[in-house]
Amino acid sequence: MVKGKIMMISSLFFLAATHGDYPVPEKTASRLFYIQRNHNANTIVYDANFNEKGILKEEDPLDVYWLRYQEQGQRMELRKIEKLYAYGVECTAIKGKKHEYNLKLVADRKRKFWLVQKEPFHALVITAINKQESKLDHIYIYADYVSFWPKVRYIELFGTDIHTGQPTYEKVWNE
């Protein structure tokens, strides 16, 4: 495993991938994906923010927050520093495309993500995982906590190929 290189593993690993006894957030109509980390079981959740007609809110299409599993599993808003340096997201409407957005995740600034809505109350985040166009399910971040700012060692992406329905997985080592 070489730092700076992408490590690709078969979809069999995807099926067996677990990170301790971390709880899996409930699947809901608005749930897009979530991020878990090696630090603890608290989870960052990314939900679609729909209006009453089931259409993504143009000014605020994402609802990002913590599920504090280390406590009572309650919702907690991200702190400003977490939005800016760790788990925030920037959404930009794609010109000429209705209900489609470019996403820039602070957790993975180099990768391209798209938020797409095809029907009321149904949206998904699409990205390339292992060179396959995939619906993102979750991200796992492994970091060393040796100073004030953690050093990310690798990121794992888990999803589903949007053409075949097969699981997709990619592990990206940080330089």
pLDDT, position 20: 63
pLDDT, position 145: 80
Q: Which residues of the chain have pLDDT under 70?
A: 1-20, 175
* Residue 123, domain member (yes or no): yes
* Residue 24, domain member (yes or no): no
Domain count, the chain: 1
pLDDT, position 19: 64
Question: Rounded to two decimals, what is the model's pTM?
Answer: 0.88
* Residue 27, domain member (yes or no): no
Give the DSSP H/E element, type plus range, for residue 122. strand 122-129
Assign 3-state DSSP to the chain and report helix, strand, coil percentages, each to 5: 10, 50, 40
* Residue 26, domain member (yes or no): no
Q: Which of 66, 36, 53 is nearest to 122 (CA)?
A: 53
pLDDT, position 174: 86
- Domain that includes residue 56, residue range: 6-18+32-173
CB 171 within 8 A of CB 10: no
* Residue 1, domain member (yes or no): no
* Residue 97, domain member (yes or no): yes
* Residue 23, domain member (yes or no): no
User: How far is Cα 87 from Cα 70, in angstroms, rounded to an integer?
Assistant: 18
pLDDT, position 129: 98
DSSP secondary structure letter of residue 1: -
pLDDT, position 10: 38
